[in-house]
A and B are shown apart, each in its own frame.
Chain A
Amino acid sequence: MSKAEEFKNPKYYDNRELSWIKFEHRVLNEAKDKEIPILDRLKFVSITSSNLDEFFMVRVASLKDMEHAGYTKKDIAGMDPTEQLCAIGKEVHALVEKQYNTYNRSLMPILRKEGIRIIGAYEELNEKQATYVDKYFMEHVYPVLTPMAVDASRPFPLVRNKSLNIAALIKSKHPNSKLQQGSKQELEFATVQVPSVLPRLVPIPGEDDRYTFTLLEQIIEKNMAQLFLNYDLVCAYPYRIMRNADLSFDEDEASDLLKEIQKQLVKRQWGEVIRLEIEHKADKRLLQVLKEQLAVSGKDVYEIAGPLDLTFLMKMYGLSGCDDLREKLFVPQKNPRILPGESIFDEIKKGDIFLTHPYETFDPVVDFIKQAAVDPDVLAIKQTLYRVSGNSPIIAALAKAAENGKQVTVLVELKARFDEENNIVWAQKLEKAGCHVIYGLVGLKTHCKIALVVRREEDAITRYVHLGTGNYNDSTAKLYTDCGIFTCNENYGEDATAVFNMLSGYSEPARWNKLVVAPIWLRDRFIALIDREIAHAKEGKEAYIVAKMNSLCDRQIIEKLYEASSVGVEIYLVIRGICCLRTGIPGVSEHIHVTSIVGTFLEHSRIFYFYNNGQEDIYMGSADWMPRNLDRRVEIVFPVEDDVIKDRIKHILDVLLRDNLKAYAMLSDGTYAKMSRRGKQAIGAQMTFCREAMEGAKEETTVWKGRRFIPIWAFDEEEHEA
């Protein structure tokens, strides 16, 4: 086998779904970390729960589709869809078990100790509580319930995707009544949806606890008999289903993309059932009915030892009066270069500005658009929007700019998964305000994050560009770690103009100055950059690659990294989630080190560092090393050229690599383990950056900038001595 062929060996790769499950374990480990306050730990459980939902709807669903279509092509790790589904099933069952173990055994007792009780079964309610709950049921819940029974004339109802329901077996109270004559004496099936309009967590009177809650489904279950007065209730259990939600539609045939997506949204709830969660120890007969009617096989049934759908735990995170149970919220700091009220454009003119969120606030990015909207010299604003927050100030600023006569072009990506409905609303709002809205591109998702302001200044047209690694979303910018730069360098400005011209349907430019754009050029550029390190290593020079991203699963890039490692290039990868690359394989990946950081903030920035024989090339951008980013999306990766910013990014990478608090290292067997800290000072990257941001914000007045010295005339004694 040639060396190149050797690198393709499936056993050197991890399956991406299985790798993802490993990531979920790491998230879940945070919930088990005793150092973390209890409400934060609950949050991590909630996150794994919602992540798992998405995983099923997208990934598992798509594998099911493949299986149905008889598609047997093996993946990067040599597994066909059926094999993958089997393995996923096994791993997810284990994950769910760990999830509920953590919830029941670790978290509930602590919560209890802190004076918060969640009564997960109505049988445990005391008398007072029971009365309260019954009253609550009759007043608030009963009016919005729609119980549905199933018999010959009433077919099995549509159970909505992701909704929580209660299934029951019921038996007629009057088997011999004349009216019921002829009907067989059998158990009947009934179901009722737990209304999503009511809060899942219901506060009930407790003793001297801070809070006592029960769950909405328990209240309904307790009063289930009220819903079927002519029947005896045999048993009732909560259940929940997950359907195939992968949007796959033919864009070439959709004359109007917008309509097509709206159509698909209605369709989504009709998808095939791919997971059934039901309370454990449910009645076998009931389970059988559900399995038959929903066409679910045994391996897709998850018997849950606790409340279904733990995403409600996120609601507990914000409980008032519990600040002692939460990590103190970090307040994003001001960027020392950008003072509120000052013109951002003037500051950018002085030199590129580097932003790190959430350590620094996202306000400058919002202000960038806000100031442009009212600046009389601004001619145009162009921006891509992928996921926007509800009530986004950026949307408002763009609309205002259009109303002020600026030419505003916005590319709204309608295909951002699960955000379609949201995005259509914004898009239409912008259009009404007079913006030129582009609804994505046929066949490609627009994932790049770029904003351009064209300004007519005294002697020339000047272009101001913001390039980032994260979405223009002011809410997630408080939670996701991302980087961005502001620049008015003409090379970037020209490229930005060209990007928007391309997004408007015009041909690509003859050449790009700086930006590297997917799907056309990016893959080749990365390959070339790795090749250059390979060449240097072969010449006996030092060769390093440090890359930080969310996921790594592109076969070609991994092969290239293996090749690089095999000739001695030292490769450090900081990968939050999926990583199909395996480390420590003799002759293949001994020089590759993979770490993963799971912390308070979601690691989201993408940074790529190439040593280049001392020339040090640093790129940042929106793309992961995944086929979808490199081939099926419009992405931008940009070089960082300002020396000061380069130093800061090198520092960031350095701290990330030295993290021994929150970082996991991938071992040669493909599992992850926390770093050993023996004798070393504990370093948490996110904590370090928080601290540095706070110090940086304070420093602002003393940092000497520019070429002119500013003497302090009236200095006092102390300062003099120092």
Chain B
Amino acid sequence: MKLYASIYIGSYEIILKVFQITQKKRLKELDCLRTPIDTAQDIYASGQLKKETVDRICNVLEDMKRTLALYRLTEDYQIYAGSTFTAAGNRLFAMEQIKLRTGMKVLALSNSEHRFMSYRAVASQDNFDAMVSESAAIVDIGGASLQITLFYHGKVRTTQHIGLGTVIMSENMKRLSYMTNHKEQIAQMMYKELDAFVTMHMQDVKLKYLIILGDHVSTLMERAVDDATREPIRMEHYMELLENMRDKTLQSIIREFDVLNDHEELIEPFLMLHHAIAEKLPAKYVYVPGVSVNDGMAYHYFAPKHYLQVEHDFDQDIISAAWSIAKRYGSYQPHLKALDKISTQIFDATKKFHGLDKRQRLLMRLVAILHDCGKYISISDASDCSYIIIMSSEILGLSHKEREMVATVVSLNRKSLESYDSMADRFSVDEYMTIVKLLAILKVANALDRSHRQKFKNIKMAVRGNRLHITIEATDSIALEKGMFEEKADFFESVFSIRPILRELRVFE
């Protein structure tokens, strides 16, 4: 029997969940402790976690140890702090204090990782793949921002971050409350932001499903959309529910939906936001799965161990998101496809020499797919532009650090490599080495399709001795490729100690 506990320090709550893998390789929630904390309030008030909040976190974690002990969980648990916590100026101090006082190690999630955890949980639901196979928008609503991921025909089209969140809106409302029409103003701003998303990304999309995720206050929505089966409901029904709630007073909402009134000031902005989203993303069905970061953590923990039934293919999401970015910036796709293929071939052939893993292979593919996107803005400045584009494109499933690594490899494609010292502020030595290795592969692969004309057929790779033999069949002159090749091969050799050798089998048709 496999057990695991996830502890999540969220914007409003600390949640502990204990999970068990059932015989059918399903995840089952055994126990759940949740208790309110003021992370969000602290951050929006001062950017710092207050002493009282840190004390409370320590006390709660200390108490949660009892539950961990009950299930005899000594190793199989993790504590993640959400992106609100991570946004605190004093997060490192807080984490250190927690470690010293409770002996528990907290892992801080960046925004991307945080969103991915929620996404992971919803994507592991049974009906998810069927929903995204047509079209679906996943909206993850947080305190400071919301994130929309658009699926079209099973593929991620885009992930966008919008600066609209329940806490931010409630703060704005308080700030502007002296104005008589402050609510309309805030509503207008909200609609404008959402409009921008719709015009940019949804012109040709007829949305079938709207999937809504979010922290604590979403309990309200889960209770409102009360059906034990947790099936999607029709948009009209959903709108009716929202309308109903808007007509009610705060107190009666609290009473009727049994929400704790810890965060009652958030209810109004919460309703406004949900209403605006439903209006601007008019799907046929609305799905409120009621899963949390904790569930995502469990999937994340168990998935690599193969304890669970095969779940959604998250790598494919990342790849399709990358393709979507490449298309958006008009990259020449046949070249990208060739490059994707060649670079993975090199990667696979030289495994022994680079020692990189499956995840880094995925990064390699991203590098290949995205290496050209900056040309959309400036051909001469493509490196820097690519870097900026990648850094500002959310790719669901990729951590912030991974994204930065991909962007850095791409930006170095046409520049000379910087020394580690100049990058030490951003990357660890291991990360730097990964960047260098991916860069070396990219350069060789890119040289093989220098003309962007995919002249090679049947590329074969084999390592013999300290050489990487790349055998190609070409139908055309490959003089250009050959000329560029040696320079790239030098760099490759300096990194891996093996030299790529290009062997040509000329094919005449």
Contact = CB atoms under 8 A, between A and B. Distances in A.
Interface of A: 379-380, 407, 436, 454, 456, 458-461, 494, 497-498, 501, 504-511, 520-521
Contact of A461 (B1, B35, B222, B260): B1
B32 interface: yes
B1 A456 contact: yes
A510 B222 contact: yes
Contact of B219 (A407, A506, A510): A510
B332 interface: no
A501 B1 contact: no
Contact of B23 (A454, A459, A508): A459
B3 interface: yes
Interface residues on B, range: 20 to 34
Contacts of B219: 510
Interface string B1-22: 1010000000001000000101
A461 B28 CA distance: 11
Nearest to B219: A510
Given A379-B72, A510-B223, A497 B31 contact: yes
Contacts of B154: none
Contacts of A510: 219, 222-223, 290
A501 B31 contact: yes
A582 to B, nearest CB: 30
A501 B22 contact: no
Contacts of B66: 407, 436
A299 to B, nearest CB: 44
A379 B34 contact: no
18 contacts: A379-B71, A407-B69, A454-B70, A459-B23, A460-B1, A461-B1, A461-B20, A461-B30, A494-B30, A501-B33, A504-B33, A505-B35, A506-B33, A507-B34, A507-B35, A507-B36, A507-B260, A511-B223
A41 to B, nearest CB: 51
Nearest to B292: A510
Given A456-B1, A461-B20, A508 B258 contact: yes
Contacts of A436: 66
A504 B34 CA distance: 11
Interface string B358-375: 000000000000000000
B289 to A, nearest CB: 12
Contacts of A458: 1
Given A460-B23, A507-B13, 6 more contacts: A461-B1, A501-B31, A506-B34, A508-B258, A508-B260, A510-B222
Contacts of A456: 1, 72
A40 to B, nearest CB: 48
Chief secondary structure at chain A's binding surface: loop
B71 A461 contact: yes
Contacts of A508: 258, 260
B57 to A, nearest CB: 14
A461 B69 CA distance: 14
Interface in B43-79: 63, 66, 69-72
A383 to B, nearest CB: 14
Contacts of B22: 460
A458 B70 CA distance: 17
Contacts of A459: 1, 23
Contact of B3 (A461, A494, A521): A461
B133 to A, nearest CB: 29
A521 B258 contact: yes
Nearest to B260: A507
Interface string B63-102: 1001001111000000000000000000000000000000
9 A-B pairs with the lowest CB-CB distances in the bound complex, closest first: A507-B34, A506-B33, A407-B70, A380-B70, A506-B35, A501-B33, A497-B31, A510-B219, A379-B70
A501 B3 CA distance: 19
Contacts of B63: 504
Contacts of A509: 32
Nearest to B258: A520
Contacts of A520: 258
B72 to A, nearest CB: 7
A145 B20 CA distance: 68
B3 A498 contact: no
Most buried by B among A407, A506, A508: A506
A379 B69 CA distance: 9
A501 B35 CA distance: 10
Contacts of B69: 407
B74 to A, nearest CB: 13
Nearest to B218: A510
A717 to B, nearest CB: 50
A511 B223 CA distance: 8
B20 A501 contact: no
A506 B32 CA distance: 9
A505 B32 CA distance: 12
Nearest to A380: B70
B32 A501 contact: yes
Interface in B191-234: 219, 222-223, 226
A358 B71 CA distance: 36
Contacts of B260: 507-508
Contacts of B71: 379, 461
A271 B290 CA distance: 54
Most buried by A among B1, B20, B70, B226: B70
B32 A498 contact: yes
A497 B30 contact: yes
Nearest to B32: A509
Nearest to A512: B258
A511 B3 CA distance: 23
A560 B480 CA distance: 90
A460 B63 CA distance: 24
Contacts of A460: 1, 20, 22-23
A520 B255 CA distance: 9
B290 to A, nearest CB: 7
Contacts of B223: 510-511
Contacts of B23: 459-460
Nearest to A520: B258
B329 to A, nearest CB: 42
Nearest to B34: A507
A507 B14 CA distance: 10
Contacts of B13: 507
A461 B223 CA distance: 28
Contacts of A498: 32
B328 to A, nearest CB: 39
Contacts of B290: 510
Contacts of B72: 379, 456
Contacts of B258: 508, 520-521
Contacts of A497: 30-31
A401 to B, nearest CB: 13
Nearest to A409: B66
